Structure formats: C-alpha cells, structure tokens
Amino acid sequence: MPSSRPTQSFPMIPRGLRTRFAPSPTGFLHLGHVASAIYVWGLARKSGAEVVLRMEDHDQGRVRKDYETSILDDLAWLGFKADAGVASSDKASDYRQSDHWSRYENALQNLGDRVYRCQCSRKEILERTGKNSEELWYDGFCRVHNQGPNIRLILDSKPQTFVDGLLGEQIQTASEQCGDLLLRDRDGFWTYNFAVTVDDIEEDISLIIRGQDILAATGRQLELREQLGAKEQPLYIHHPLIWADETKKLSKRDRSTSIGQWRDQGFSAADIVGKAAFQVGLIPSERPIHATEVEDLFHV
C-alpha cells in the first residue's frame, strides 16, 4: 500500500484537550461527515485529546430517531469510537441536546436583560431590512416591544478575533453579520448557535473541529461564550469541505450518497474513509484507510 506523508501540521494543539463530533440527526451520514470524523479523530488521537460524541437534535421539527440510529451504526461500522457521549446502545445520554432543555433555560436566565422576545417572521425581516444577503440580518425591531415567540440576544458591536488552526487569524463582527442573535425559535426550539455554545461550555470542550461551512458562526459563538461568562476561548479548526460539484458543498439535502448506500454498493469502511480523506485533500490519491490509522494523516 503506498503511504504518503501527512500534509497538514497542527503544532498549536497542546496535549490533553477535549473535542467533540456533533452530528445532527436530520439526515444520513455522508462523505462530508466522514471528512469531519477524520479530522476530529485524527487530530484527537494524535494529540491525546478526548472525543465526545454529541447528538445535536435541538431542531425537533427536523430530527428523526431513525437518522440518529443510522448515524450511530454508521460511525461504529466505520470504526470511529468516541471516548464519551452517545453510543449505539444508549437509551439515555448526557450528550443528547434534547435532554438539555433545562441546561439551556438556565443559560438563558444568565444572559439577563440583553435577552428579549420577538415576533418577526423571516418575511417581515426581509421586507423591513431590504437586505438580500445569504444570511438574515435582524434589525432589533422588537427590542422595545419585547413580545412574541422568538427569543433574541443583543450582541455587542465589537469584532471577535480568533486564530483558526488552519486558516489563521479571523475577525468577525456578529452584530453586522446577523444582528440580534436568535436563541429560540417560534416553535420553541433552541437554535444551533445557542445550544452548541452552551454545550461546548458545559462539556468543557477545548478543541472545536468542524467544517468551513460553519466558519461564520464562530464569532457569534465566541460572543455568546463571553456573555455566558466562559473564561477560555477554545482552539478552533475549520477544515475544508468535500464539494459535490464546483459550486455546491456536499450535503444531505443534495441527496448525497449516504454511507449506507456506499456500503450496499460493496465498499468497505476503509474504502470510504480513504475516499473521504482523498476528496478533502488529505492524501494525493485514493487508497483504503482504517479509522484507526487516521492520526497518521496529521502532524501535531
């Protein structure tokens, strides 16, 4: 089997951190998730970090139990085994977001009077702000009314700076990107940004490894951490994505091939890990890689 030298180096990762793999059970696992798992387990094993498996089922309108079961089965089949968190055999878990509702309520109380209620729909916001960017920007209209089903947080108009382990220094001003941050939506579900930030703090996550599609969320999560009283900034690594074609990232909504479909076509777990490693640019040509070997793809 041809071997190749690791292409990516992460000397900034100290030993003994705690990281997480955090799938949302709103679809099946696909190659993009496998690329994330390679980074998470590879860097964790190489640097002696602990891996927590968190099930991000905050969006109860979209999650399905069969997606969760299949994600857990696929991860086990691929050979990615977490040190803590949700496991295939789990009925209950401390690491499932739908079990964290009181944790989120408590965090909300700690945010005090920067939090307010809002009744604006997406359509109303778009009509009022006239902004046609990819991301919805909230103008603070309901700050004075403080009524409605949504819950929002007033952000400071200051830039957040962090050094991404792959991308270098990043500066983001969340108040300009999204305006007052949505914490709970009109259906009563906690939003991704709020749930993930509270959990990362509560679960002592010190190394956050995720795709570059979430890069823009990091500034607002850092600000939320500050407002929630977190003392330390975690280390962030936003890894490249696998692209379905030249313009679109691979995603479950694109009906990308699920791991189960690859398996049904006769691919082995090592074939799939190797395919994802190649497509994300970690190896120069495709070859089978066992989940236990992914640490060899990185220098730490």
**Residues at the contact surface with ligand GLU, assessed by CB under 6 A:** 22-24, 56, 196, 210, 214
In 84-227, at which residue ranges do the beta strands (DSSP E only) sit? 84-85, 115-118, 150-153, 160-164, 168-172, 181-184, 207-211
By three-state DSSP, how is residue 114 classified? helix
Bridge partners for 257 per DSSP? none
Smallest gap from Cβ 130 to ligand GLU, in A, equals: 30
- Min dist CB 283 to ligand GLU, Å, is 23
* 87 vs 214 by CB, closer to ligand GLU: 214
Name the DSSP class of 253.
Answer: G
Rounded distance between C-alpha atoms, residue 284 and residue 5, angstroms:
10
* Extended beta strands in 135-220, E state: 150-153, 160-164, 168-172, 181-184, 207-211
CB of 152 or CB of 238, closer to ligand GLU: 238
Query: Least Å distance between CB 142 and ligand GLU?
Result: 27
Shortest Cβ 120–ligand GLU spacing (Å)? 25
Which residue's CB is nearer to ligand GLU, number 208 or number 283?
208
- Shortest CB 32 distance to ligand GLU, Å: 9
CA distance 165 to 235: 7
Helix (H, G, I), strand (E, B) or coil at 181: strand
Nearer to ligand GLU among residue 142 and residue 196 (C-beta): 196
Residue whose CB is less far from ligand GLU, 124 or 213: 213
For the CB of residue 19, give the shortest distance to ligand GLU in the complex, in Å.
10
Q: Which tokens belong to 144? A: 């004075």
Find tokens 């947080």 and name the residue.
Answer: 153
- How far, in Å, CA of 141 to CA of 145, rounded? 8
Q: Which is nearer to ligand GLU, 25 or 274 (CB)?
A: 25
Chain Cα centroid distance, residue 146: 30
